[in-house]
Chains A and B, each alone.
Chain A
Amino acid sequence: MIDQDDAALVLASQQGDRDAFGALISRHARSILSLTTRMLGPADAEDVAQETFVAAYRALASFKSDSKFSTWLYRIGVNKCTDSLRARRPENTSLDVISDESAAALDVSNDETPHWELEQAELAWELDKGIQALPHLYRESFVLRHIEGLGYDEMSLILGVHRDTLKMRVYKARTLLCQSLAHLDGVHR
């Protein structure tokens, strides 16, 4: 199942070849950095992405070649993001709970910005803000599905959650995001 190039690099890394692990970092850094950026925002993204690779290196001996290296790495990355979010907001560990406060936070509209002046970059900014305002469990599912472009089966392996549960989370994330971006309709979307 494992990508042949990844397989060779993983095997070499397990045997102590640090250059091989460096090559694995180069191959997967952008995906992991994308994940951490969307989950945490830019401030902590690079640090947590680095932590992901450090943890992966230390656990490399336990990696089984019957799974995809990228899936395994995503899983470590998701867990590191969860750790970071909990450390950042210890008073609100239940980031997955939709409360009135989080629902209010989803309203990312800015009435003072004339809609006709919004450009594509601003749409990306609004969407990114909406994604980061999603409850944690919805956010990680949405990011893996639509930013990283993964299927539900692979997401299930990464998150250890049944694919139907993940579908429900993605559905709800999409619905919440559509609501939060509704003010952009008919402008540049």
Chain B
Amino acid sequence: MMNDTFDNVDRAGSEEFVQRFVDGELSAEERVRFLSQLGRDEQLRRRAIELEQLALDASRLPRPMVPDGFAASVMSRIGDVAVAPAGPVASGFSRTDVSVWRRLADAFAAPRILQWNTANAFAVGCLAILVMVEIVTRGGAKPDAALAPAVPATLVRLVILQQGAKTVQVAGDFNGWSPARTSLEQISDGAWAVTIPLKPGRYAYMFVVDGQRWIVDPFAAEQKDDGFGSRNAVLEVKPLEQKTGAAL
């Protein structure tokens, strides 16, 4: 995935190389290229030192001392309960909470009337189509309150054409860059879509096809360098007052 993402860039001086250097994940050949570049590029050198220093500082953070009686307190809370027999117990291997995004996806899977404005949020390309539909929520289709605590949310519809794909997901600033949290559904042959509520702001994102291929939407209204040698599409959700009448 990462290699797909960072192809076709000057890799030796890229943010990705610096970060992988800090993680000790460069191959011997890559290390030589990186260190050569480091000798020529003072800014890169400063960045490498900055990140190494951060990793060092973090590793040196004091570890808390375990209070006296900690184990006794745990055993007291356990009480006389015996180890449960094997079975579908709360083993900790599964997240105890249903994903907010999953609940949202379920919520939006239910039939409901959505009002669309496709006039100024429509881009067409041979590889991908992004349709962004902004719908100011006014009662009807309420997103999860947790995702839109005080600010009215805007529903954003992401659509992409990917013939032959088995899965399509989206990862971005809005979901912690976790593609598993936001899957698109196939709405017709080769067309995938998802609707997500977003607070006003700017969000970088990429599509992930079949869990492997990260696609930068070439037709997004804006792209920006992601700091790792590649580019992300950028989605801007404007505050309500700046788009009066535009969405509905």
Which chain A residues have a beta carbon within 8 Å of chain B's beta carbons? Answer: 13-14, 16, 18, 21-22, 25-26, 29-30, 33-34, 37-38, 42, 45-46, 49-51, 53-63, 72, 75-76, 79-80, 82-83, 86, 90-94, 96-100, 123-124, 127-128, 131, 135-138, 142, 146-147, 149, 152, 160-162, 164-165, 167-172, 174-175, 177-178, 181, 185, 189
Chain B residue contacts of A98, Cβ below 8 A:
173
Contact B201 A100 (CB under 8 A): yes
Q: Chain B, 59-88, contact with A by CB distance < 8 Å: what is the 0/1 string?
A: 111111111001101110110011111110
Q: Which of B36-44, B48-56, B132-140 lies at the binding interface?
A: B48-56
In the complex, chain A residues whose CB is within 8 Å of the CB of B84:
58-62
The 8 Å CB contact of A18, one of B61, B75, B228, is B75
Q: Using Cβ atoms and an 8 Å threshold, which residues of chain A touch B9? A: none
A60-B89 Cα distance, complex, nearest whole Å? 9
Q: Which of B111-119, B159-167, B174-182, B186-194 lies at the interface? A: B174-182
Is the beta-carbon distance between A97 and B91 smaller than 8 angstroms?
no
- CB contact under 8 A between A165 and B171, given known A34-B64, A92-B149, A175-B227: yes
Sample 9 A-B pairs with CB under 8 A, ordered by A number.
A61-B86, A79-B92, A82-B96, A91-B149, A93-B144, A96-B175, A142-B58, A165-B178, A171-B19
A58 to B45, CA, bound (A): 50
Is B57 positioned at the interface, with any CB of A under 8 Å from its CB? yes
Report chain A residues within 8 Å CB of B75. 18, 21-22, 25
Instruction: Please tell me the size bucket of the interface on B.
Output: 35 or more
Q: In the complex, what residue of chain B is closest to A54 when comparing beta carbons? A: B77
Considering only CB atoms, which chain B residue lies closest to A177 in the complex? B54
In this complex, what residue of B is CB-closest to A53?
B74
For the A-B complex with A49-B70, A62-B93, A168-B228 known, give 16 more contacts whose Cβ atoms are closer than 8 Å: A16-B82, A25-B70, A34-B63, A46-B67, A57-B81, A62-B84, A62-B86, A76-B92, A93-B144, A123-B57, A127-B61, A142-B58, A164-B1, A165-B180, A169-B177, A178-B50
Q: Could you tell me the distance between the alpha carbons of A122 and B149 in the complex, rounded to whole angstroms?
A: 34
User: Are A172 and B51 CB-contacts (below 8 A) given A76-B92, A83-B97, A93-B100?
Assistant: no
